[in-house]
Amino acid sequence: MSDDDFMDGIVAGSLEVRLARSPADVDAAQALRYRVFYEEMAADPSGEMAARERDFDRFDAYSDHLLVIDNDRSAGDRVVGTYRLLRRSVADAHGGFYSTWEYDIDAIVAHPGELLELGRSCVDPAYRNGTTMTLLWRGNAAYVLHYDVALMFGCASFPGTDPADHAQPLSYLHHFHRAPPALCARARDEHYVNMNLVAKDEVDRRAALKAVPPLIKGYLRLNGFVGDGAVIDRQWGSVDVSIVVKTDLVTQRYRDKLT
């Protein structure tokens, strides 16, 4: 597991943020992911996942796992928030990034410098508050600074598998937050769903933004962009969009809190 001394001191009361340091830490993150994605939400687990009550795939073995830990909870139940972090320098040695199943990310990969794929973000329902999210983002910012990451990217989801249910927010993202060509991932042809469901002048921007899931709103606040096209992921029961964020605003916002 990765050395995370650069995250020392990122705490709030009984909560701390750090990277997983052991197989037990990763197992706890996978258990949290299972509870959120498969028990609370609509994802469809494989037989092995259901038997183990863990969310896992091959990318877990070589990714870093960012954890928010409540030190007041029992040892096996302390992980209350997580993000999976995969750097270009690691992905290149292990067959690439997770996002390539859904998106052509050639434009992003062509960007110079270190890249960071964000995924598997979730928080225990009892901890879905500003404190936990701030700790996750302070951890992400420390990681970005430590590894000199230039771009973060990944996928984020709307619930359900009918894009028409999200016509306003998907169209809002398409018209007002589309990535420039040099940073624009495109949904693969076999998965491509047009996000331009409502004409630009017919989008109710206030209502549409209100309907955007909180995680995606967080990326937008960091001047994030969405890619071209959505993807229906029936296993996860979601409509996915591609996200890319330049890290300059991330590090600017959190740098003072990290020094």
Over pLDDT 90: what percentage of the chain? Answer: 86
Give the tens place of pLDDT for each residue, 10-45.
999 999 999 999 999 999 999 999 999 999 998 999
Contact criterion met (CB below 8 Å) for 255 and 116: no
C-alpha 225/C-alpha 84 separation (Å) is 20
Confidence of residue 3 (pLDDT cuts 50, 70, 90): confident
**pLDDT confidence of residue 256:** 53
151 beta partners: 115, 246
**What mean pLDDT comes out for the span 198-225?**
95
Instruction: Tell me, yes or no, if the pTM score tops 0.85.
Output: yes
At 149-193, the pLDDT tens digits run 999 999 999 999 999 999 999 999 999 999 999 999 999 999 999
Provide the pLDDT confidence category of residue 77 given band limits of 50, 70 and 90: confident
User: CATH code at 251?
Assistant: 3.40.630.30
Q: In total, how many domains does the chain have?
A: 1
**In terms of residue numbers, what domain contains 52?**
5-258
* Res 127 pLDDT > 90: yes
Average pLDDT of the chain is 93
